[in-house]
Amino acid sequence: MNIEINDKFKFASVWLTNEEKENEQIRQSIREHISEFRAKKYRFVIYESGKEDLVEFTGALLSHNKNLAIKKEKNSLQL
């Protein structure tokens, strides 16, 4: 588990591996951290590792975003 704290933006994030996200002791620890940071008015996010191929899905996401940008550009030219 990796916890990153950004005091400037009042933001905290937790990064979990596949093994960690299934561990109830770690989940309890995270709940405690969430309570602590919410009391300080921080935003909190949890990132969990997935089981899919990172390179394949990153490529698909980039391709999707590129297609959205192209569609948006075409629509703005038609106006």
The number of residues in the chain equals: 79
Question: Is residue 9 domain-shared with residue 38, that is, in the same domain?
Answer: yes
Question: Is residue 30 domain-shared with residue 64, that is, in the same domain?
Answer: no
Count of structural domains, the chain: 2
Question: Is residue 40 domain-shared with residue 69, that is, in the same domain?
Answer: no
At 16, which helix (H) or strand (E)? strand 11-16
Residue 14: its pLDDT value, please?
Answer: 92
30-44 confidence digits (pLDDT tens): 999 899 999 999 999
With 0.85 as the threshold, say if the pTM is over it.
Answer: no
Question: Is residue 21 domain-shared with residue 55, that is, in the same domain?
Answer: no
- Residue-range definition of the domain harbouring residue 28: 1-48
Return phi, psi of residue 63, to 5°: -60, -45
Question: Is residue 62 domain-shared with residue 41, that is, in the same domain?
Answer: no
Question: Is residue 61 domain-shared with residue 44, that is, in the same domain?
Answer: no
Using DSSP's 3-state secondary structure scheme, residue 47 falls into strand
Q: What is the mean pLDDT of residues 15-40?
A: 91
